[in-house]
A and B are shown apart, each in its own frame.
Chain A
Amino acid sequence: MLDQPLIKIVLLVAIVVITLMLNRSTAGSRHQAVRRLLLVGFVLLAAAAVLFPRLLTQVAQALGVGRGADLLLYGLTVFFLGYVASSYRRMRQVEQQVTTLARELALRQAVHDRREHGDGPAG
Chain B
Amino acid sequence: MSGMTLSPRHDDAWLVIPLFNEATVIERVVRDAREVFPHVVCVDDASQDGSAELAEAAGAVVVRHPFNLGQGAALQTGMRYALEATDAAYLVTFDADGQHQVQDAEAMVCRAKEEDLAVVFGSRFLDDRTRPGWVKKIVLKAAVWLTNQQTGMRLTDAHNGLRVIRRDAASALDLRQNRMAHATEIVLQLGRTGLPWAEHPVHVLYTDYSRRKGQSLINSVNILVDTLLK
A103-B76, A103-B80, A110-B81 are contacts. A121–B1 as well, Cβ < 8 Å?
yes
| Contact segment of A8-16, A64-72, A75-83, A94-102 | A94-102
Q: A95-B178, A102-B66, A103-B80 are in contact. Are A110 and B73 (CB under 8 A)?
A: no
Do A123 and B77 have beta carbons less than 8 Å apart?
Answer: no
CA distance A29 to B110 in the complex (A): 51
Which residues of chain B are near A120, meaning CB under 8 Å? 1, 59, 61
- Check: B18 CB closer than 8 A to any chain A CB: no
Contact assessment for B61 and A114 in the assembled complex, using a CB-CB cutoff below 8 Å: yes
Return A103 CB to nearest CB of chain B, in Å: 5
Write the chain A residue with the least CB distance to B66.
A102
CB distance from B109 to the nearest CB of A (A): 17
Does B38 sit at the interface, judged by CB under 8 A? yes
Question: B: which residues have CB within 8 A of A?
Answer: 1, 38-39, 43, 59, 61-67, 69, 73, 76-77, 80-81, 84-88, 176, 178, 229-230
Q: In the bound complex, do residue A23 and residue B64 qualify as a contact, i.e. CB atoms below 8 Å apart?
A: no
**B229–A123 CB distance below 8 A:** no
Residue A33 is within 8 A (CB to CB) of chain B in the complex: no
Tell me if A107 and B77 are in contact (CB < 8 A).
yes
A91 to B136 Cα, complex, angstroms = 31
Task: Give Cα A121 to B1, complex, Å.
Answer: 6
Report B-chain residues with C-beta under 8 Å of the C-beta of A103: 65, 69, 73, 76-77, 80
Which 7 residue pairs of A and B lie closest in terms of their CB atoms, listed nearest first? A123-B86, A110-B63, A103-B77, A121-B1, A106-B63, A120-B61, A121-B39
Taking the complex as formed, is A111 at the interface, i.e. its CB lies under 8 A from any CB of chain B? yes
The answer to whether A99 and B63 touch across the interface, beta carbons within 8 angstroms, is no
Indicate if the CB atoms of A106 and B61 lie closer than 8 Å. no
Chain B, Cβ-Cβ closest to A85: B229
Interface pairs (8), CB distance under 8 Å: A99-B178, A102-B69, A107-B80, A110-B64, A110-B81, A111-B84, A111-B85, A120-B1
